[in-house]
Amino acid sequence: MEFSKWTKEKRKLNNLDELKRDIIEQFKEYNVLNKEIIAMVSGGKDSSVAVALALDLGLKIKYLVHFTHKWSWEISKDEVKKLGKRFNIEVKYIDITKELLKRIRGAKPSSICRICKNIMKDKAVDIAKKEGLIIMTGDSALEKVSGAIMNYLREKYGEVRYNKMELTPVPQKYNVLFFRPLIRLAYEDIINLLKYYNLNIKRVHEVGDKKFWREGCCLQYAKKLNEEVFDKLYLYNKVATEIARQYNFRASVKYPPIEILTIPNKEEYKEMIRKKLRELDESL
C-alpha cells in the first residue's frame, strides 16, 4: 500500500511495507520485540487501526484499555468490545469519573480534553510499569506529541530521523516506552488502512474536529466545568447525535448556553435538534 504525498514528502515514508520494516527495526534496537503491549483504545478509527497494524506485525498486545466516565458514549464502549472480540484480546475498562471531577475544579473549559488525557496516560503508565509493558496509542502525524518526538530525536541523533519516530520514551518523564505506529501517517493514510484491515467503525456523528472528523466525547463542548453542566451536556448531545445518525449529518451541542453545531451547517438540521431539546427540557 502506497502512502499519501504528504506522508512521503513530510515524513519520508513511502508505503506500508516500509513502515512495517521501520517499526520492527525499532523494536529490535530497544530489544523489546517480545515485550507485551497495553493498547489505549477509544473505539475510534485511529486506535483501532493501530491495534490491527501491531497484530499484523506479530507484536503481542496483552490488554486493550478503554477509559470511561459517567458521560462516555455507549457506542465507543461497544466498538472497543467488538475490537477485543475480533482479535481475542482482553479489554480493561477503567472509570475515571471521580478523578476527573477532582481535577476540573478551577480549570478552564478549554482544558477539559488535556485533563482527561493526562488522567488516562497516568493510569496507563501505572499499569505499564507494574507489568513491564509498552504503551501503544493511536496518535497520528498532526498530534502535538509529534513535535516532542522530533525534539527528542534531534537531541539523540542531532537530526530528526523519521524512521525512529514510532517507538520512543516520549514523554520522558514517565520512563516507559510509547509505541505510536501511526505517528507519521496523514489522515487519508489511516482511512486507507481502515479499509485495508477491514475495520468497520460506527461513528457517534458528533462534530468533533471539523477538519478531520475526530470524535471524542461530549465534554469537549462544555462552556463550564461542573457535574451539573456535564449531565445536561450529555443529554443534549445524546439527542443531537441520535438525530444526526438518523439523517446522516454531524451534530453537537455546546452548553451553557445552548449552541447547536451541525455539519453541513443547515438551519433545518438545527431546527430538528432544537425541537427535540425543547421536548427534553420540558420533560426534565
**Structure confidence by residue, pLDDT tens digits, 46-99:** 999 999 999 999 999 999 999 999 999 999 999 999 999 999 999 999 999 999
Can you give the length of the chain in residues? 284
14 CB-near residues (< 8 Å, 6+ apart)? 2, 3, 8
The full DSSP string for 146-171 is HHHHHHHHHHHHSS--GGG-SEE--S
Q: Are 96 and 120 in contact (CB under 8 A)?
A: yes
Q: Output b/e per residue, 142-172; b: 16+ Cβ within 10 A.
A: ebebbeebbebbeeeeeeeebbbbbbbebee
- 216-274 pLDDT, tens per residue? 899 999 999 999 999 999 999 999 999 999 999 999 999 999 999 999 999 999 999 99
pTM of the prediction? Answer: 0.94
Q: Per DSSP, what are the bridge partners of residue 91?
A: 64
Query: For the chain, how long is the longest CA-to-CA vector?
Result: 63
- How far apart CA 284 and CA 280 sit, in angstroms, is 6
